[in-house]
Amino acid sequence: MIFRQLFDAVSGTYTYLLAGRPGGEALIIDPVIERVDRYLQLIGELDLKLVKAVDTHLHADHVSGLGALRDRTQCITVMGECSRVDVVSMRVADGDRVQIEGVDLEALYTPGHTDDSFCFRTADRVFTGDTLLIRGSGRTDLPGGDARAQYQSLFGRLLRLPDETLVYPGHDYKGETVSTIGEERRFNPRLQVKSADAYVELMGNLKLGNPKMMDVAVPANMKVGLHQEEIARRGWAATAQEAMSMIGRPDTVLIDLRECAERARHGVIPGSVHVPYPSLAQSTCAGGVLHSFAAGGGKRLLFYCAFGERSAMAVQAAQEAGLSCACHLQGGLAAWKAAGGALESLPSG
Ligand SMILES: [Fe+2]
């Protein structure tokens, strides 16, 4: 596995770049907006293709690089299902997997620092965001924080991982880079408490000032979504109501861009064809399945995904590839469901 721990000295943030092999797909965790050029340079130097950008939670101390990375690489943005951000491409729940070629992360819902905090683990390491820090833990006194929930996340989830699991935190302010679960269990002062009540009391007495960037970072990070209005302005969007009237027409092909796990969990729009977002480029070029639908079959392509981000990017890519009949379901399956659109569940297994 290719693994890089990158540091933003201004906010004390660690960003992690993971990939399965040189020349393969890459995933980034907790990117900082001011460092986006550096990430893209490194990704280019390592001959990687960024396909997913993940934030462990809604950050209060720096502006996330998720939106900028999405706009520059058309990667998929990922956060927890209860995050208050306007739009990300994909939302995960506890136990979901965030996968790219050669990398498989398990999402652990660990609220406490915020109500949308997730940790992500592989076989030998865990990216703990601001839930568990080296010899510390993320503050719980900002909006969405809950010390009692964090106690449960720490003692009920993270400390149950094997002792040798490497701990890669979201921040460090003293130059520490990595620890282990066993080391933190024994030496982290926040983890020496005897009860949840004692932890709540400890966290309640920290008397911390607000992060310097908080007034800027939180509103900015809640607006990371792709501006789907621009796609609509160009006439490339269909509302859920409009999409309903297009379903079943012989001149329209409905294309689901989501991953298999999302389709299994949330259902699919009846009659849709599955073309996962990462395979879009090969599908829209000459000889690809979507190219033959559109160019050869004269059909209209109607893309959809979870929230309309991937489909908006797909429309742009299809239009650039010369498929002028492409449009997308604005707001994705979430808008479709809200409008009462029909869904069918996939057979399990
Ligand atoms: Fe944080």
Give the tens place of pLDDT for each residue, 196-246: 999 999 999 998 888 888 889 999 999 999 888 889 999 999 999 999 999
Strand order in the sheet with 166-169: 97-100, 103-109, 118-121, 125-129, 166-169, 179-180
For tokens 């392509």, the residue is: 301
Instruction: Compute, in angstroms, the gap from residue 177 CA to the centroid of ligand 1.
Output: 17
Instruction: Compute, in angstroms, the gap from residue 130 CA to the centroid of ligand 1.
Output: 5
Instruction: Compute, in angstroms, the gap from residue 190 CA to the centroid of ligand 1.
Output: 17
CA–CA–CA angle 156, 114, 132 (5° rounding): 50
pLDDT value of residue 346: 87
pLDDT value of residue 33: 98
Instruction: Compute, in angstroms, the gap from residue 171 CA to the centroid of ligand 1.
Output: 8
Q: Which residues pair with 136 in a beta bridge?
A: 133
Q: 326 by DSSP, 3-state: which?
A: strand
Instruction: Compute, in angstroms, the gap from residue 278 CA to the centroid of ligand 1.
Output: 30
Instruction: Compute, in angstroms, the gap from residue 232 CA to the centroid of ligand 1.
Output: 34
Q: What is the mean pLDDT of the chain?
A: 95
For tokens 């943005």, the residue is: 77
Instruction: Compute, in angstroms, the gap from residue 121 CA to the centroid of ligand 1.
Output: 18
Minimal CA–CA distance to 131: which of 100, 107, 96? 107
Instruction: Compute, in angstroms, the gap from residue 110 CA to the centroid of ligand 1.
Output: 12
pLDDT value of residue 213: 85
pLDDT value of residue 115: 97
Which residues of the chain fall below pLDDT 50?
A: none
Minimal CA–CA distance to 257: which of 208, 203, 308? 308
Instruction: Compute, in angstroms, the gap from residue 168 CA to the centroid of ligand 1.
Output: 14
Instruction: Compute, in angstroms, the gap from residue 138 CA to the centroid of ligand 1.
Output: 7
Instruction: Compute, in angstroms, the gap from residue 50 CA to the centroid of ligand 1.
Output: 23
CA–CA–CA angle 120, 191, 199 (5° rounding): 105
Q: How far apart are CA 327 and CA 211, in angstroms?
A: 42
